[in-house]
Amino acid sequence: MTRPTVAVIGGGWAGLAAAAALAESADVTLFEAGKVLGGRARSVSPADSGFDFLDNGQHLLVGAYHRILALLQRAGVAENDAFLRLPLTWYLADGIRFQAARLKAPWHLLAGIARGEHMGWRDKLDLLRQMQALQRWHRKAEADISVAEWLAAHKVDARWQQQFWQPLVWGALNTPLAQASTWRLGNVLADGVWRQREDSDMLIARRDLGESWVEPVAGLLRYLGVDIRCGHRVQQLHSGEHGVLVDGEVFHRVIVALAPYHVAALLPQAAAFNSLVYHAITTVYLRYAQPLPLPQPLVGFATGTAQWLIGRGALGGDAREVAAVISLSDQLPPYTSAQWAEAVHRDIQRLFPALPPPLAARTITEKRATVACTPGYTPPPQDALAAQHVYLAGDYLHPRYPATLEAAVQSGESAATLCLRSF
């Protein structure tokens, strides 16, 4: 019997995961429009910017991201080399601080918050009560509501919203509180914070995504015989009696692993995707003349422009470089690159008041970074496409999570399973 042929369209993390899951059972061709693989989690050339390396955005994983970590491990990535693994740490330069203890769940969180700083006993009990209330609400699986509604119903005051819930929701769901899904937030917390201590760990990449993540996975795919075609933007897809035509080449099955705004261009049946709402994420990289001894590898701000700072010194890199993450940057005025850099520099000066301006700055905004994670959002049905031997994969399809790398990888693997089952 000849092996089945499968085209995977899109070399982001959903496409990479799908190709890896298929490659031992099928002849796989991976089409990627860009010059490099990785999609919305890839390296960009630092060129002569003066930076050691640049990614399209600073990415962070948590221990609960089991499938992407398994894929990286399968590709030979040694976790200790690739990541700095930290216990769950909440360190606001202008607010509360706590770190999960090295104890079994739920004691890791209880002890961590009990030992927290810049909050009194009443505050600590308030935060624990709020988390417990969300756990109860989530277990009951009531009809989904926005996080803002949930916070109002549970009388969470403005201070706790600013010190905890807002940075958490912005970072995890990239959606404003008034629109963010409480149920999906509950899923993130249930799997990534409450269930198991190791799952709540935070993993920060030590090097650029291209070198430390994408290249090893591309190497694995090549080893498994996947035909990787970068720089090929698929223009046409037609299902026929004998298979699916991808730009005139016939395949038994096709996995379309594109961001939703690209799916609609290729599949007229998916025109409804054009109405999805997205939010932006901006990453500002600054390089100073001197090292920045940040108090933690990940430092947050409850107020200001930068929400999280990641210093490269703690990662074993150049201590003069720092990345600032601004989720929901579409909600801010349309700053120029220079204005972004100035605003983030002012935030960093709150930690180091005498710090002179940076020597170099680079701002990258991904306007459609992730699809809005709202109560009404349900992934589009795919049965009609499957009947035409076409399967969808992508971060926007996950039934429980917001659009994240883990959602992308899980969805790629699920599409591969459905595809293989159909033979």
Ligand X SMILES: Cc1cc2nc3c(=O)[nH]c(=O)nc-3n(C[C@H](O)[C@H](O)[C@H](O)COP(=O)(O)OP(=O)(O)OC[C@H]3O[C@@H](n4cnc5c(N)ncnc54)[C@H](O)[C@@H]3O)c2cc1C
Residues that bind ligand X (CB under 6 A): 9-15, 31-34, 39-41, 56-57, 59-60, 233-234, 257-259, 262, 266, 281, 283, 366, 369-370, 394-395, 403-406, 408
Q: How far apart are CA 95 and CA 127, in angstroms?
A: 14
List all residues 6 or more positions away from 357 whose beta carbon is below 8 Å from its beta carbon: 345
By beta-carbon proximity to ligand X, the closer residue of 151 and 173 is 173
Evaluate whether 209 touches 79 at the Cβ level (below 8 Å). no
Is the CB of 4 or the CB of 10 nearer to ligand X? 10
Residue found by looking up tokens 């060129």 in the block: 47
Query: Which residue's CB is nearer to ligand X, number 92 or number 298?
Result: 298
Query: How many whole angstroms separate alpha carbon 209 and alpha carbon 394?
Result: 19
d(CA 118, CA 249): 62
Rounded to 5°, the CA angle 212-312-62 comes to: 60
| 324 three-state secondary structure | strand
Which tokens hold the place of 37?
A: 């693989």
Nearer to ligand X, 54 or 100 (CB): 54
E strand intervals along 193-242? 202-205, 227-230, 237-240
* Residues linked to residue 324 through DSSP beta bridges, in sequence order: 284, 309
Q: Is the Cβ of residue 56 or residue 130 nearer to ligand X in the bound state?
A: 56
CB atoms within 10 A of CB 345: 21
Q: Which is nearer to ligand X, 9 or 113 (CB)?
A: 9
> Cα separation of 33 and 36, whole Å?
8
Residues 221 and 24: beta-carbon distance below 8 Å = no
Nearer to ligand X, 15 or 112 (CB): 15
CB atoms within 10 A of CB 263: 24
